[in-house]
Amino acid sequence: MNNRGINFRTLLFFFVLIPVMFFGLLYSLLVNIIDPTGDSFHKITAWWGRFSAKLFGISIEVTGQENYSPDHNYLVISNHAGMADIPLLLGSMHLNLRFVAKEELGKIPIFGHVIKQAGFVMIKRGQNREALKSLLAASEVLKNGRSVHIFPEGTRSVDGKLLPFKRGAFLVAQKGGVPVLPVTIIGSHLITPKKSLRINKGKIRIIIAPPLQPAKFNSVEELRDVSSRIIENNLTRYSNN
């Protein structure tokens, strides 16, 4: 990491946000015992997302709120270009949302235990059978009426450009029997640059496209390609506005 990139907002992260997160996690341990569905924990994370945006001076503009219903559940997919993506989505989208996260996060003391308690799905890296098995566990979360978010690129983009989508996310939508909701995030790579500790203020744009019904596509690959094209087109269209 580039330690020379540390700025005032980095200090806010360590001395304000980290303590808030720590006490929030301790509180969430109790909350998850009282409410094992994870629904109450989601409300805490949504507040945390909004608090984080205000703390770091990040403005969020959401386009397409009319394209989904808070009363329904979806497989939400989006591009991934910054560490701020998860809290910003949690704070901006009116969905009972769970994330698919890399397995290593589940091993972090307290944090890992809390998010697994709340229904977040830990996924193994790679393309082997175990990776697919852990990914398909997300379809059970969908069947239980919650929305699930997956980054189909599998990693963060350095420059904000879209990386190739993996097919696993779209298998989840097919197995879970829910619509795919394509979401485009613009500007997050400038807020939290990859391989840097620097945190910048700025504007994030979130564009929510109309949902896609998996049953209307001939294959998982076709669903993947159409989803990728929608996000790519919105990246181009809204980045230039």
Segments of the chain assigned E as strands = 58-63, 75-78, 97-102, 121-123, 147-150, 180-186, 202-208
pLDDT digits (tens, 9 = 90+) for 193-231: 888 889 999 999 999 999 999 999 999 999 999 999 999
User: What pLDDT, on the 0 to 100 scale, is given for residue 188?
Assistant: 92
Tell me, what amino acid is at 72? H
Domains, the chain, with CATH or none: 3-239 (3.40.1130)
Rounded distance between C-alpha atoms, residue 241 and residue 81, angstroms: 19
Strand 58-63's sheet: what is its strand order? Answer: 58-63, 202-208, 180-186, 75-78, 147-150, 97-102, 121-123
pLDDT of res. 136: 80
pLDDT band at 1 (very low <50, low <70, confident <90, very high): very low
**pLDDT per residue over 172-185, tens digit each?**
999 999 999 999 99
**Ramachandran sector of residue 125 (left: φ over 0; alpha: ψ -120 to 50; beta: rest):** beta
Cα separation, 150 vs 135, in Å, equals 9
Share of the chain above pLDDT 70, in %: 96
Rg (CA), the chain: 17
For the segment 118-133, the average pLDDT, to the nearest whole number, is 79
Pairing label, strands 58-63, 180-186? unpaired
Has residue 129 got a pLDDT over 80? no
